[in-house]
């Protein structure tokens, strides 16, 4: 099929959005390509369509497991075979998925960058008929980017696996410096193409307010803008507090953070996506990979760590291209907190070595042991045990990751998976010789298809009901079957994971790049300065953001709070005269109390009406008798 036929057949669209077709054609013409497109600009179409228009498989690298799972599910709904491989999966499970990519009908293989470092995965990719490498969130490859991920530095090795296959890198948040860094680090070939769609969001009205009482202002936003919204806060405790305050006001709201169980997170996300709960209060753990086009407002109750992060989070509003609002509320204490965070997130070499030493003790690793081992890892528990500051510890872990001593993965829910690893005859013998397994095996085979061929998601609670066993008995029996090498059983997991990439070494011999630490601190300081400048500078908000992303000739947007204020100032005398005439007209018909009069007026804001009322009262054009006013 042609690219237009692919677009229509699988996605139902008659035409591409701006720049999509040019990017796709560049890829099909054999060019390495960098696509800089705003949040919600339709980046995934740019690699999915050319991959479907050619023979072979597209390998997609993404740092976000939630985003990978979401895209795989969306592709499957369209009848397209796709799989994802990430931390938490067993070796045998990965082996089968990679086989399907070589010999089966799979069109998209999604990988985390950490998984791509595995020699096993690289060797299997070498035997695949790859038609395109797509690098999503490509800014993660640059230490100048806001979300630098060290494993991305190895992605140029894809060239060695398939030297002739082109690379398409995509990002929604890249300055000029980061864009240049991406093309260098990915070893783009001569003649590579760069496509930059303006980061302007014409339908998005940016609002910034210095507010001491943020909650009162938040209520005004919720009451004046109808529809679905996201409220971002700094930490988990705040998500609960703000959601509870809203509920007290009669506003349906749920809170969301990474510390909730998988079931709770999924339920709250589904309730919000379906509109059952219109408002969600969340940390920045929420939002990536969530395709909800009708979000009418995003409110930040705390200053973000960078303008890149703010642009991406605020950009979740108005993806349907209808009017939406991005509101940032701050006060002086937020600025002080941001500057405090900078010092807290800059660990010394000694502190990094200490965190590494504690990790070895936490997992009870002997010196020289641990290479390749993967553990469930709870940062909060680790910090509590060794009395460490969370921010500083997280920064230390990221530096250890950059130095390739460890690899960290995000928290992700993986359901229980099962595959029968022997033939039907062997399983039948088990049922006859061990009656305790008979009911369980029959229930499994009746409930799930394909158990002999591939790993299948199962629910122990459902099996227990059908087999008249307790959930604990089901788990114990499956574990025993695994011990007998009859099945491969992986219970559900909901934990972030940490992998040791090298054997544990003595902390005093742990080499850390001092120059890199200095550069990262400098970058972080620049990012925080840019956020504070954005909040405090009175000029068009959209223009400020576009200038930050190197769009130097951007005009005034006309819809942000600053632009609207300028329009009001231009019309101020005319507006105030209209309010004056309305007050005289209303009071000429009937006397009113002040609290009755102001809400009854149709023109101007409450402050403007009160200001004009006082002028009329002081000049004697309005008279008073007790609580009543008249002309």
CATH of the domain at 269: 3.40.50.300
How many structural domains are present in the chain? 5
Task: Tell me the pLDDT tens digit for each residue of 64-99.
Answer: 777 788 889 889 999 999 999 876 677 788 888 999
Same domain, 513 and 620: no
Order of all β-strands in the sheet with 130-135: 82-85, 108-111, 57-61, 130-135, 167-171, 33-36, 193-196
Mean pLDDT across 423-449: 89
Residue 412 has pLDDT above 80, yes or no: no
Looking at per-residue pLDDT, the higher value among 257 and 328 belongs to 328
Residue 485 region by backbone torsions, left for phi larger than 0, else alpha for psi between -120 and 50, else beta: left
Residue 44 has pLDDT above 80, yes or no: yes
Mean pLDDT across 595-604: 90
Same domain, 349 and 277: no
**Which of the listed residues 196, 222, 242 is the one where a domain comes to its end?**
196
Residue 252 has pLDDT above 90, yes or no: yes
Same domain, 443 and 343: no
Does residue 559 form part of some domain? no
In Å, what is the CA distance from 464 to each residue of 262, 437, 444, 459?
21, 13, 10, 9
**Which of the listed residues 302, 330, 358 is the one where a domain comes to its end?**
330
Task: Tell me the pLDDT tens digit for each residue of 274-287.
Answer: 899 999 999 887 76
Same domain, 404 and 293: no
| Residue 490: per-residue pLDDT | 82
Same domain, 19 and 47: yes
Same domain, 397 and 467: no
Contacts of 428 (CB under 8 A, 6+ apart): none
CATH of the domain at 504: 1.10.10
Same domain, 134 and 27: yes
Burial of residue 271 (number of CB atoms within 10 Å: 0-12, 13-18, 19+) = middle
DSSP 453: T
Tokens of 629: 């006013």
Choose the weakest-confidence range: 24-38, 118-132, 446-460: 446-460
Does residue 534 form part of some domain? no
Same domain, 316 and 424: no
Mean pLDDT across 333-340: 88
**Which of the listed residues 330, 358, 387 is the one where a domain comes to its end?**
330
DSSP 203: T
DSSP 208: E
Tokens of 511: 């080499």
Does residue 561 form part of some domain? no
Of 125-129, 341-345, 408-412, highest mean pLDDT = 125-129
Does residue 110 form part of some domain? yes
Percent of the chain with pLDDT over 70: 97
Same domain, 42 and 115: yes
Does residue 558 form part of some domain? no
Same domain, 191 and 208: no
| Residue 410: per-residue pLDDT | 64
Does residue 566 form part of some domain? no
| Residue 9: per-residue pLDDT | 94
Q: pLDDT grade, residue 494 (50/70/90)?
A: low
Domain of 430 in residue numbering reads as 416-490
Same domain, 11 and 79: yes
Contacts of 285 (CB under 8 A, 6+ apart): 256, 257, 258, 411
Q: pLDDT grade, residue 54 (50/70/90)?
A: very high
Choose the weakest-confidence range: 103-112, 113-122, 184-193, 459-468: 113-122
Tokens of 560: 């942000």
Please tell me the distance from the alpha carbon of residue 406 to that of residue 399, in angstroms, as a whole number.
Answer: 9
Q: What is the mean pLDDT of the chain?
A: 89
Task: Tell me the pLDDT tens digit for each residue of 360-388.
Answer: 999 999 999 988 888 888 888 899 999 99
Task: Tell me the pLDDT tens digit for each residue of 96-105.
Answer: 899 999 998 9
Does residue 550 form part of some domain? no
Phi and psi, residue 291, nearest 5°: -100, 85
For residue 85, the cross-strand partners are 111
| Residue 88: per-residue pLDDT | 67
Does residue 577 form part of some domain? yes
Same domain, 88 and 150: yes
């Amino acid at each position: 099929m042609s690219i237009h036929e692919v677009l229509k057949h699988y996605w139902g669209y008659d035409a591409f959005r701006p720049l999509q077709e040019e990017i796709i054609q560049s890829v099909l013409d054999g060019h390495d390509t960098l696509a800089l497109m705003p949040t919600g600009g339709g980046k995934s179409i740019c690699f999915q369509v050319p991959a479907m228009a050619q023979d072979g498989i597209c390998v997609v690298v993404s740092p976000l497991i939630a985003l990978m799972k979401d895209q795989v599910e969306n592709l499957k709904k369209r009848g397209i075979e796709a799989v994802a491989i990430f931390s938490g999966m067993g070796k045998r499970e990965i082996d089968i998925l990679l086989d399907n990519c070589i010999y089966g009908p799979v069109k998209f293989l999604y990988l985390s960058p950490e998984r791509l470092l595995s020699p096993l995965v690289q060797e299997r990719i070498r035997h695949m008929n790859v038609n395109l490498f797509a690098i999503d969130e490509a800014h993660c490859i640059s230490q100048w980017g806001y979300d630098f991920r060290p494993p991305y530095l190895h992605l140029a090795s894809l060239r060695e696996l398939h030297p002739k296959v082109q690379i398409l890198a995509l990002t929604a948040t890249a300055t000029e410096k980061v864009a240049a860094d991406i093309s260098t680090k990915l070893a783009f070939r001569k003649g590579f193409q760069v496509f930059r769609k303006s980061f302007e969001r014409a339908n998005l009205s940016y609002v910034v307010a210095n507010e001491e009482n943020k909650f009162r202002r938040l209520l005004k936003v919720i009451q004046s803008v109808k529809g679905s919204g996201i409220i971002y806060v700094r930490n988990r405790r705040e998500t609960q507090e703000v959601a509870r305050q809203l509920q007290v006001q009669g506003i349906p709201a749920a809170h969301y953070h990474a510390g909730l169980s998988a079931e709770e997170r999924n339920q709250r996300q589904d309730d919000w996506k379906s509109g059952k709960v219109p408002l969600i209060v969340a940390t920045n753990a929420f939002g990536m990979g969530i395709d909800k086009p009708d979000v009418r407002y995003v409110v930040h109750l705390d200053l973000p760590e960078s303008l890149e992060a703010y642009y991406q989070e605020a950009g979740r509003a108005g993806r349907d291209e209808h009017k939406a609002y991005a509101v940032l509320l701050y006060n002086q204490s937020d600025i002080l907190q941001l500057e405090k965070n900078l010092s807290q997130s800059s660990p010394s070499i000694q502190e990094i070595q200490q965190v590494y030493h504690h990790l070895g003790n936490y997992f009870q690793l002997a010196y020289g042991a641990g290479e390749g081992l993967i553990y469930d890892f709870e940062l909060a528990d680790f910090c509590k045990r060794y009395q460490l500051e969370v921010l500083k510890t997280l920064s230390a872990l990221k530096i250890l990751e950059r130095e390739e001593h460890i690899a960290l993965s995000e928290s992700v829910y993986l359901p229980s998976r099962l595959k029968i690893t022997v033939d039907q005859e062997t399983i039948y013998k088990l049922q006859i010789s061990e009656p305790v397994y008979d009911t369980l095996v029959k229930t499994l085979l009746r409930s799930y298809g394909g158990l002999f061929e591939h790993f299948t998601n199962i629910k122990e609670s459902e099996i227990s009901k059908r087999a008249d066993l307790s959930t604990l008995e089901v788990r114990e029996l499956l574990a025993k079957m695994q011990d007998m090498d009859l099945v491969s059983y992986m219970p559900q997991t909901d934990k972030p994971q940490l992998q040791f990439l090298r054997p544990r070494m003595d902390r005093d011999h742990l080499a850390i790049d001092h120059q890199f630490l200095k550069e990262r601190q400098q970058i972080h300081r620049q990012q925080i300065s840019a956020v504070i400048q954005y909040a405090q500078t009175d000029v068009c908000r959209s223009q400020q953001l576009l200038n930050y992303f190197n769009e130097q000739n951007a005009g005034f947007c006309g819809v942000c709070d600053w632009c609207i204020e300028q329009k009001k100032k231009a019309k101020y005398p005319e507006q105030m005269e209209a309010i004056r005439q309305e007050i005289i007209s209303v009071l000429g018909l009937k006397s009113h109390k002040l609290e009755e009069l102001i809400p009854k007026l149709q023109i101007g804001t409450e402050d403007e009406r009160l200001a004009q009322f006082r002028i009329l009262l002081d000049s004697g054009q309005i008279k008073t008798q007790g609580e009543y006013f008249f002309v």
